[in-house]
Amino acid sequence: MNERRKITLQRHRIRVNDRTIAYETAGCGSPLILLHGLLGSTRWWRHNVVALAAHFRLYLIDLIGFGASRGKHQFVLHHAADQIAAWMRQVGIPRAALVGHSMGGLIAADLAASHPALVERLVLVNAAAIPLGHAYLRHICGLFGLIPSLRPNFLPVLATDAWRAGPVTGFHATRQILASDITRQLADIQAPAMLIWGARDTLLPLRMGSALAKQLPGVHIVILPDAGHNPMWECPTAFNRAVLAFLSR
């Protein structure tokens, strides 16, 4: 409990071009940026802040259209990586390690490929970084199948964040993810990378993690057998240990 009191999240808002990005910071050391997934917010990293901020300067970002960054501007997937790059330059982060979950993993991979000088290390968590195609029915079934596997204490967080983002943002973001394909860009990633995958993920099954690993030669993959789509919440101790071990190499 004493350790928790030492970590205080500071909230910030900054104007980047014509968009406002909200983010939180904690800890000190080398910069580590955390990018949440679809319908998420910085709150999805609640169980990781203490462990990671003990070693790094954490930056938890609410992507435009979500969390405290929602507003008149809609989320646009193919702009997201450039927006994060512009935010880094404005905040004064010349280079950082990135951890991206699900949709945030797609954005993190895109950022590492398109702005390699900004990314020192890359952690992709159950990342939607390979083409999902237009199999809408299979994807929707995965969404419904995901609900029973979620931790009960995560459901209120998910419900609140989804309500704040709204159905329009959720629909358009999902459609953009399903239509995205950064396969060719993955070859441009220069940063050492690690995959963390929950073996029980029904939304982005482990076979997708294996397919992504084949696109990133030399990538290290950690499979968490007791986790589903949100390993950072479902198995935080194992998740934090894996991230710290990789980033400290």
Sorted by where each begins, the domain ranges of the chain are 2-247
**To which H or E segment does residue 34 belong?**
strand 30-35
Cβ atoms of 139 and 178 within 8 Å: the answer is yes
Domain at 2-247, CATH from 3.20.20.450, 3.60.15.10, 3.40.50.1820, 3.40.1190.20: 3.40.50.1820
Residue 185 neighbours by CB under 8 Å, 6+ apart:
109, 110, 113, 114
Q: Region 94-111: what's the mean pLDDT?
A: 98
Structure tokens at 18: 């014509």
Q: Distance between CA 167 and CA 61 in Å, rounded? A: 21
- For β-strands 96-101 and 30-35, DSSP reports them as parallel
- For β-strands 56-62 and 96-101, DSSP reports them as unpaired
The mean pLDDT value of the chain amounts to 90
pLDDT of residue 161: 87
* CB contact burial 76-89 (16+ within 10 A = b; e otherwise): ebeebbebbbbbbe
- For residue 49, pLDDT over 90 is answered with yes
pLDDT of residue 122: 98
Q: Distance between CA 49 and CA 60 in Å, rounded? A: 9
Structure tokens at 231: 């390993």
Q: Distance between CA 226 and CA 200 in Å, rounded? A: 7
pLDDT of residue 4: 46
pLDDT of residue 202: 86
Q: Region 173-185: what's the mean pLDDT?
A: 92
- For residue 6, pLDDT over 80 is answered with no
Q: Say what the pTM is.
A: 0.91
Provide the edge-to-edge strand list for the sheet that holds 193-198.
10-16, 19-26, 56-62, 30-35, 96-101, 119-125, 193-198, 220-224
**To which H or E segment does residue 156 belong?**
helix 155-165
Q: Region 158-162: what's the mean pLDDT?
A: 86
